[in-house]
Chain A
């Protein structure tokens, strides 16, 4: 009991330290520009938390999180465009629609005039899409590479669809030029700090949620499904429901991240939701350590920050470096950089991080040793 108490207090203290760092220290020391940049990285980190759950814990290699990110982002962007149009133009028609379209707001935009509908839709639309998709895919036992390809195709199709709808989605230009956010002036520096704070708070909440899920019965079942789906089925559980539930959580997190991205960054375009950004999400998570709680977060923020820092000095270099890092991590360190720490502190981890010592299933064993999960699940899939 003593060890556990220490562990629990330790996590709580770690969480509190992270909260202080993000909500107090960062706004105090960073310039307005860098704080905005960090806010953007935190949005990617929120997506990464979801991918960590779906891929790291659930084995669902989702190469299409850009779709859910984009849904949340475009819903928020549509609301902000409409709000700006009524606030500044008076006509209620966003500028680009009069330039490239009919000058009429299409019917499917109208619901997003309402702030309440927008906030609900940011959560519900990605969630519902993921639910329908998850049920359709997982109930049919589509998994592994097939699921990965399917999700990636979806991201590609989504981007192509957006580009084709010049008059209603802004096409390849996307939606940009926002001036207000729920009535708050986006040019006011205080409001920018507030937006960052919201992103940081949402990230903290999603990490907390991910931790609770990982330690819940659902989380244990998820790892079990990842490693031995058939065995879980024979035990009387429905793996499809378990996977769908987590897939929905990941989608909702991506949607919320997208909705925060728009006011923080000031633009959303098809280039932010297609295949390349979807893979960039995955790379960050893989580098950080997909099966751990904090690995995806740190990986996403680290990869985005490194790209931002290196790309101005060495424009093409970053792409190669990122590719190389990805190959090295996948080839030699499937647990990501987080497994470096666990290698060092392996003995200590083994003592504290086995939540269910009385149930010695392979699932529980591999949950505490994420290093081996790639190898554990691969042959399984290869057999089918």
Chain B
């Protein structure tokens, strides 16, 4: 006997399920003007009653970015311990909730949501890649929470929910170009990884070069993680450019500098200015491949300031004498102290009060005195060009005469007015 198989059993049930779903609709957007600000009406779940206050750290502790981001996590940890040892913030000890961004933007967005909604942290610190920040931005805006982002980036952004303690383009890329122009550089070759930071940086460099009469002899991109550079280094050599502007990220630098050296190019014949190689990356790229090459940052471990000596000594004492400190680590360390200063100025942990108090808050950071600019939530920084020395540390060869005001949209630069319309 042939047994018929039932084919209709689920349809009524499925229809019922669908109907159940459509009963739960919430509000529609009828007035766009008010809908955008619903975040501020949301009640915060941050608990300020006890003797502790929760803060969140979000860094990639796994995945391709872990090697860089774990160093930021370490320096945030150091800052939190120092703050706790000196009495906490408004008398409350910091209780750190740490989350792994796993080098994936979507993970960053998800974990940021957890830190805000589930853990009820008063502020969150971390993020590295542009994509991780772009992924977290809407989460912080929707929940009206605070993120402190410690890495140099491509600018063209400003949010009342994010404090940017790394350099924006006019505190890193433009000073580097100024330095090169000052040195008599007439032509540049641009090499970068294919993602938002290098592409935006190169757009700025192109505009700067057009205005200042510098020739751009080539603009080459490779996928993130690419290690094949023989074609590119040959193009670079044949271009006979005065210098190379390098926005490669991560492992690609190892391959690039090795092959750069192997075709006979050196720091003397054709210097490379890198914006993603700091003290932490030098051993990875190989000291003999990059010794003598230039970098553009706002902080180096070798800086001779009292705050930096204290920072470096404390970091080495906690994590080992062989460890080094770098610009993003310093910016992260600074970010926690800046938040503390904002909270103490506001006298409260509430996001709106902290935001209102932020403008003009200062901190004597390892890189020098930094001041928060409340107009764009960035901070003043002192751009410095460095040269990688034989110990793998970076010596300052040029320093901006004064701290530079942040200008994320490059509004004060005539030649850049077409960049960020």
Chain A interface residues toward B at CB < 8 A: 4, 8, 11-12, 15-16, 19, 23, 31-34, 36-37, 40, 87-88, 98-100, 103, 160, 163-164, 166, 171-174, 176-180, 183-194, 197-198, 200-201, 204-205, 208, 211-212, 215-216, 265-269, 271-272, 308, 311-312, 315-316, 318-319, 355-358
* CB neighbours of B412 from chain A (8 A): none
Contact of A187 among B111, B118, B142 (CB under 8 A): B142
Contact yes or no, B196 A171, CB < 8 A? yes
* CB neighbours of A189 from chain B (8 A): 26
Contact yes or no, B138 A266, CB < 8 A? yes
CB neighbors of A among B26-45 (8 A): 26-29, 32, 35-36, 38-39, 42
Expressed in whole angstroms, the Cα–Cα distance for A19 and B14 within the complex equals 9
Contact yes or no, B27 A184, CB < 8 A? yes
Q: Is B350 an interface residue (CB 8 A)?
A: no
Contact yes or no, A100 B29, CB < 8 A? no
* CB neighbours of B106 from chain A (8 A): 265, 267-269, 271-272
Contact of B38 among A185, A211, A358 (CB under 8 A): A185
* A-B contacts, 8 listed (Cβ < 8 Å): A99-B420, A171-B195, A172-B196, A185-B28, A188-B27, A194-B21, A265-B106, A318-B62
Q: Is B5 an interface residue (CB 8 A)?
A: yes
Q: How far is the CB of A354 from chain B (nearest CB, A)?
A: 9
Contact yes or no, B26 A205, CB < 8 A? no
* CB neighbours of A308 from chain B (8 A): 110
- Closest chain A residue to B155 by CB distance? A99
Give a binary string over B117-158; 1 marks a CB under 8 Å from any A CB, 0 the rest: 110000000000111001101110110000000000000100
Chain B interface residues toward A at CB < 8 A: 1-3, 5-7, 9-11, 13-14, 16-18, 20-21, 24-29, 32, 35-36, 38-39, 42, 61-62, 66, 98-100, 102, 104-107, 109-111, 113-114, 117-118, 129-131, 134-135, 137-139, 141-142, 156, 194-196, 199-200, 223-224, 420-421
* CB neighbours of A272 from chain B (8 A): 104, 106
Contact yes or no, B26 A201, CB < 8 A? no
Expressed in whole angstroms, the Cα–Cα distance for A193 and B100 within the complex equals 26
Contact yes or no, B10 A311, CB < 8 A? no
Q: How far is the CB of B3 from chain A (nearest CB, A)?
A: 6
Contact of B26 among A173, A185, A318 (CB under 8 A): A185
Contact yes or no, B199 A166, CB < 8 A? yes
Q: How far is the CB of B110 from chain A (nearest CB, A)?
A: 7
Residues A190 and B24 in contact in the complex (CB < 8 Å), given A174-B105, A266-B138: yes
Contact of B194 among A163, A211, A267 (CB under 8 A): A163
Expressed in whole angstroms, the Cα–Cα distance for A64 and B299 within the complex equals 44
Expressed in whole angstroms, the Cα–Cα distance for A179 and B35 within the complex equals 9
Expressed in whole angstroms, the Cα–Cα distance for A8 and B4 within the complex equals 11
- Closest chain A residue to B1 by CB distance? A358
- Closest chain B residue to A159 by CB distance? B223
Chain A CB count within 10 A is highest, among B1, B17, B224, for: B17
Residues A87 and B61 in contact in the complex (CB < 8 Å), given A190-B26, A312-B98: no
Contact of A204 among B14, B131, B141 (CB under 8 A): B14
Contact yes or no, A176 B109, CB < 8 A? yes
Contact yes or no, B62 A316, CB < 8 A? yes
* CB neighbours of B139 from chain A (8 A): 266
Q: How far is the CB of A32 from chain B (nearest CB, A)?
A: 6
* CB neighbours of B105 from chain A (8 A): 172-174, 176, 267, 269, 271
Expressed in whole angstroms, the Cα–Cα distance for A184 and B6 within the complex equals 39
Contact yes or no, A88 B36, CB < 8 A? yes
* CB neighbours of B21 from chain A (8 A): 23, 194, 197-198, 200-201
Q: How far is the CB of A341 from chain B (nearest CB, A)?
A: 22
* CB neighbours of A15 from chain B (8 A): 9-10, 13
* CB neighbours of A358 from chain B (8 A): 1-2
Residues A87 and B104 in contact in the complex (CB < 8 Å), given A103-B421, A187-B38, A212-B7: no
Residues A33 and B36 in contact in the complex (CB < 8 Å), given A99-B156, A172-B195, A315-B66: no
Contact yes or no, B194 A191, CB < 8 A? no
Expressed in whole angstroms, the Cα–Cα distance for A134 and B97 within the complex equals 48
Contact yes or no, A11 B62, CB < 8 A? no
Contact yes or no, B25 A205, CB < 8 A? no
Contact yes or no, A87 B32, CB < 8 A? yes
Residues A311 and B18 in contact in the complex (CB < 8 Å), given A15-B13, A166-B196, A184-B28: no
Expressed in whole angstroms, the Cα–Cα distance for A194 and B102 within the complex equals 29
Contact yes or no, B110 A37, CB < 8 A? yes
Contact yes or no, A315 B61, CB < 8 A? yes
Chain A CB count within 10 A is highest, among B32, B139, B141, for: B32
Expressed in whole angstroms, the Cα–Cα distance for A319 and B26 within the complex equals 38
Expressed in whole angstroms, the Cα–Cα distance for A172 and B131 within the complex equals 6
Which 5 pairs from chain A and chain B are nearest by CB? A190-B26, A315-B61, A208-B10, A191-B26, A177-B138
Contact yes or no, B5 A355, CB < 8 A? yes
Contact yes or no, B26 A194, CB < 8 A? yes
Q: How far is the CB of B127 from chain A (nearest CB, A)?
A: 13
Contact yes or no, A12 B27, CB < 8 A? no
Contact yes or no, B199 A100, CB < 8 A? yes
Contact of B117 among A32, A204, A216 (CB under 8 A): A32
- Closest chain B residue to A311 by CB distance? B100
Q: How far is the CB of B204 from chain A (nearest CB, A)?
A: 12
* CB neighbours of A173 from chain B (8 A): 105, 130-131, 134-135, 195-196
Q: How far is the CB of B354 from chain A (nearest CB, A)?
A: 21
- Closest chain B residue to A182 by CB distance? B28
Expressed in whole angstroms, the Cα–Cα distance for A85 and B24 within the complex equals 26
Expressed in whole angstroms, the Cα–Cα distance for A269 and B133 within the complex equals 13
Expressed in whole angstroms, the Cα–Cα distance for A185 and B28 within the complex equals 5
Contact yes or no, B29 A180, CB < 8 A? yes
Q: How far is the CB of A87 from chain B (nearest CB, A)?
A: 5
Contact yes or no, B142 A160, CB < 8 A? no
Contact yes or no, A204 B135, CB < 8 A? no
Residues A177 and B137 in contact in the complex (CB < 8 Å), given A12-B13, A15-B13, A315-B66: yes
Expressed in whole angstroms, the Cα–Cα distance for A51 and B8 within the complex equals 23
Contact yes or no, B111 A23, CB < 8 A? no
* CB neighbours of A185 from chain B (8 A): 26-29, 35, 38
Expressed in whole angstroms, the Cα–Cα distance for A254 and B251 within the complex equals 33
- Closest chain B residue to A200 by CB distance? B21
